[in-house]
Structure 1
């Protein structure tokens, strides 16, 4: 069964401490980029398809969809909130072969999406999941690096190792 995670982008930015700090310091674009980076890693490791929705109801002329780092990212149209967009998106994407999760800490949005058959993940739960995934990725990379070192030396016989060691020391 396919799993789909729809993320209310600005809601998550406002809830995650590091991203909130960037936003409050006037670096909203950097906060968006950092969120997209984290969600890209999360998607790659978890296998869930991730869609990020950013509110653009106060910015005229937007309403676009694009792909970035294998994520689908939407900016809503003028006078359309992310909540409204997410509700429509759930209606379009729900089927029996797909489980949809919505990441937001907006209580009203959680209730509405739950009523449409989607499951909710709070911003805090997503942050905890992301931290776990980040740790698991680091452990996996560490193990692979250790395995590479062991495999290189285990593939070379002791005579060859001695030869190269003598060569290195110019004996």
Structure 2
């Protein structure tokens, strides 16, 4: 059996924003800020998991909008053109990939999930993505914490009893 070539996580951006309480709350005041927060979450997730993350934001109702592709650290952000939904972009995108690529699509849209499954990709709900993201963050914290412990100070004074320390201090002061 052949090995998978690439591992992709394709995210229906606005669908996820509307499904996660923290992002939904931010979007009430600033859609741009909620997009940026999702993007930063996915950069961390992608960096940790090694999956190529593609976030698709549709511009279906935005007059004269052209497709825009933005590359950032570990991820690609797509803003679709006018009259193109994120769903249609995602369907077209996964059709261009190799059958050996591992593709997961994150969306709560049931119809989109069925189409994605029919094209050979797997689906992940917004809730499952949130749980995966939280698990990855926890592993990052654990890794960072263990690395920090390794570089913590290692001084002789931390390992000596008070009496010995006092004698050494007296010697240091030439008493």
TM above 0.5: yes
| Greater share of residues in helix | 1
Structure 1 counterpart of 2:18, from 14, 18, 21: 14
Name the residue aligned to 1:153.
154
Instruction: Report the Cα distance in structure 2 between the residues aligned to 1:19 and 1:43, rounded to whole angstroms.
Output: 19
- Return the offset for 1:8: 0.3
Select which of 109, 112, 115 maps to 2:112.
109
Partner of 1:37: 40
Q: Find the aligned partners of 2:99 and 2:131 in 1 and give their Cα distance.
A: 28
Instruction: Tell me the secondary structure at the aligned position of residue 77 of structure 1.
Output: coil
Q: Deviations over 1:119-140 (max 9, x none)?
A: 0000000000001111111111
C-alpha distance in 2 between matches for 1:155 and 1:66: 52
Count of residue pairs brought into register by the alignment: 160
Which runs of structure 1 show a deviation greater than 2 angstroms over 4 or more consecutive aligned residues?
none
How far did 1:61 drift?
2.1
Gaps of 5+ in 2: 160-164
Sort the Cα spacing of 1:58 and 1:153 in 2 relative to 1 into closer, same or farther, 3 A.
same
Distance in 1, matches of 2:41 and 2:94, equals 23
Residues 153 and 75 (structure 1 numbering): CA distance in 2 closer, same or farther, change over 3 Å?
same
The 1:81/1:155 distance shift into structure 2, 3 A limit, reads: farther
State the match for 2:162 in structure 1: none
Q: TM-score normalised to the size of structure 1?
A: 0.86
| Alpha-carbon RMSD | 2.2
The structure-2 alpha-carbon separation of the partners of 1:13 and 1:155, relative to structure 1 and needing over 3 Å to count, comes to farther
Q: How does 1:39-118 map to 2 (within 5 A)?
A: 39-59=42-62, 60-93=64-97, 95-118=98-121
Which of the two has higher C-alpha Rg?
Answer: 2
